[in-house]
Structure 1
Amino acid sequence: MNTEDLRNLLDAMWQDYLKINPDARLIHQLFAERNPTLINDHIALRTFDLPKVSIRTIAAPFVDAGYKPRGEYYFPAKKLFAEHFEHPDSTLPKIFISELHVDQLSDSAAEIIHQCVSQIPEDAPAQTGFSYSGRHWALSHDTYLQLLDESEYAAWLCAFGYRPNHFTLLVNALQSHHSIDKVNDFLLQQGFALNSAGGLVKGSPEEFLEQSSTLAKPILVPFSDRNAEIPGCYYEFAQRYPLANGQLYQGFVAASADRIFESTDVKRSN
């Protein structure tokens, strides 16, 4: 995939994301009115640790376009593993892909997930646009609630399918707001709800990364038995700090990301 095709893919992912997070368009516009340039720090994708849709499978189009794995992260409490990928062109966003350890769930939850993944056409995961292709399976609201009792992550992924979970605005590139605290204050003044799990700001300058995020707003989702409102996507904000060599830290902090995941929690979004 050449750079133009890659940028087209990233833009298509952004447009898909905006469909289930209309607040992101408003927030992006507010900052665009106040800054000559906005930089997307990273895009997050969710999947399962099944061969058909593993991190390596989801990452393949990005790797083909020049991305390389740069970090691994573990989230035992949420039964997740993640990797992030970077492109040689630093103006392109990092790709953060997490996967749920299906075999660590109950037999009934694992069976639901296997049934969902089995309905994905065999050649679909290899397609360039799979990362924003949505849900490939039928899912009842009752089944969604069953998954929700065990794993918010599994429930969200089975409800929405394959699409960006969040995009991330790089605070360092802003001229209008020079710290993540000022960004948070601005968003609160504008009426946006933020994820307060572990505090509004996750991380610290000592960890070289501070993050915050909006809460995912409930949106109407069609299930096989009814339509229901559930939390969609959220917008994240990241401020990075320089390492000893003067370069900005480009990785992630697992403890902070663990709390950022909770931006789609039903109990926080309602």
Structure 2
Amino acid sequence: MNFDQGTPLDIFLNMLFDRYQAKVPAVKRITDAMIAQGIVREQHEIVNDHIAFRALGVPNLGIASFEKIFLHHGYTKRDHYYFEAKKLNAYWYAPPAERYPRIFMSELMVDELSPEVQSIIHRYTDHITTDPVDQLDLNDGEAIGEFFHRSLWQLPTRSDYLTLLNESEYAAWVIYNRYYLNHYTISVHALKDGYDTIQRFDDFVEGLGIKLNDAGGKIKVSADGLLKQSSTVAEMQEATFAEGDTMSIAGSYVEFAERLSLPQFSDVPAEALTAAQRREGFETTNADKIFESTYTEQTRS
């Protein structure tokens, strides 16, 4: 992912990806291997299907706040998704031009959690009495890039983190990582023959010694069979909590997506298919298991 047009959107997307890549070693391992094996000549040839963010559904934060950034830069809000067991809402956003990634944005429905967990989350966020995005110059790409990595609330204690983790691993991830980029996604159908299906690309990634998320199976397939997704297991990071306590916790990961042709375009050769002729949007059943790339059951095994 590399945007070189110099627009505010290009600037903050590059800032996001640079910091994400620096903290997720699997990105460089996969990219370097792709270049070494001639799958791509350089990183910017990789098509980024989408990037994803997690947020807390509390006043002045969450999707209603966060989406303002992308709507301002020409993104269009599309389908809503609901994850009952995980207590999440989500939407995806279509980009203003094909060279930009889709956005997948989710938020935790905090008011559906236990009183104890709600109390912990509100203790960290109740001091935010106005929407922080409203204070941003949305035409300043660097300011937006810095905002994504700004500490909107104080560093959590290890005890609070573990209490959240016990009830909602999503909540624990967000309370520590905040708006940090959760993952980016390689469009495998855009790769050269031999690597252009999820199964073939998964084999390639596993051949690098990288573990894949096997929740619900390594390959998550939509009901119509036209969207296939897989992902690495989140990179572990040594986290320093309030009062100096440390612990190894889940960071971010890399996803892979294969979008097949819509039925009416099944006779179009793969190399001639346009993005509009492929399956669009997302799938709740797929995303539900992709979320678990940061979950303990995956990272500890």
TM-score by length of 2: 0.84
Structure 2 residue 162 is the aligned partner of structure 1 residue 145: yes
Cα offset, 1:134, TM superposition: 5.0
Partner of 1:6: 9
Q: Which residue of 1 aligns with 2:279?
A: 249
Structure 2 stretches of 5 or more lacking a match?
A: 137-143, 266-276
AA partner of residue 259 (structure 2) = R
SS of structure 1 residue aligned to 2:97 = coil
Residue 194, structure 1, aligned to residue 199, structure 2: no
Alignment of 1:17-56 (within 5 A): 17-33=20-36, 34-36=39-41, 37-56=45-64
Distance 2:87 2:226 in 1: 25
Q: In structure 2, give the amino acid aligned to 1:46.
A: R
DSSP 3-state at the match of 1:71: strand
Deviation (angstroms), 1:5: 1.1
Superposed, 1:102-251 pairs within 5 Å as 102-120=110-128, 122=130, 124-126=132-134, 127=136, 128-129=144-145, 130-133=147-150, 136-175=153-192, 177-204=195-222, 206-225=224-243, 226-246=245-265, 247-251=277-281
Match of 1:79 in 2: 87
- 8 Å CA contact retained: 1:214, 1:236: yes
What amino acid maps onto 2:205 in structure 1?
L
Matched pairs, number: 269
- The percent identity for this pair of structures is 36
Query: Aligned pair in 2 of structure 1 residues 119, 174: CA closer, same or farther (>3 Å)?
Result: farther
1:265 paired to 2:295: yes
CA distance in 1, matches of 2:211, 2:173: 19
Secondary structure class of the residue paired with 1:199:
coil
- Check 1:12–1:227 CA distance in 2 against 1; reply closer, same or farther (3 A cut): same
- Does the residue aligned with 2:7 lie in a helix, a strand or coil? helix
Unaligned runs of 5+ in 1: none
Measured after TM superposition, the shift of residue 174 of structure 1 is 0.8
CA contact (8 A) 2:231 2:256 kept: yes
Q: Is the 8 A contact 1:3 1:65 kept in 2?
A: no
TM-score of the two chains, using structure 1 as the length reference: 0.93
* Alpha-carbon distance in structure 1 between the residues aligned to 2:57 and 2:131: 18
1:43–1:96 contact (8 Å) kept in structure 2: yes
SS at match of 1:77: coil
Of 151-160 and 132-141, the range deviating more from structure 2? 132-141
Tell me, in whole angstroms, the C-alpha distance in 1 between the residues paired with 2:30 and 2:127: 36
Contact 1:133-1:163 at 8 Å conserved across structures: no
3-state SS, counterpart of residue 235 of structure 1: strand
What amino acid sits opposite 2:258 in the alignment? Answer: Q
Query: Tell me, what secondary structure is at the counterpart of 1:172?
Result: helix
The structure 2 residue matched to 1:94, chosen from 102, 110, 133, is 102
What SS class does the counterpart of residue 180 from structure 2 fall into? coil
Q: Distance in 1 between matches of 2:8 and 2:158?
A: 37
Q: Which amino acid aligns with 1:244?
A: P
Partner Cα separation in structure 1 for residue 168 and residue 15 of structure 2 = 28
Q: Which moved more, 1:191-200 or 1:122-131?
A: 122-131
Amino acid at match of 1:19: A
Distance change in 2, residues 1:11/1:119 (3 Å): farther
| 121 and 168 in structure 1: CA distance in 2 versus 1, 3 angstrom threshold | farther
The secondary structure found in structure 2 opposite 1:168 is strand
Confirm or deny: 8 A CA contact 1:49 1:100 kept in the other structure. Answer: yes
**Aligned-pair distance for 1:221?**
1.0
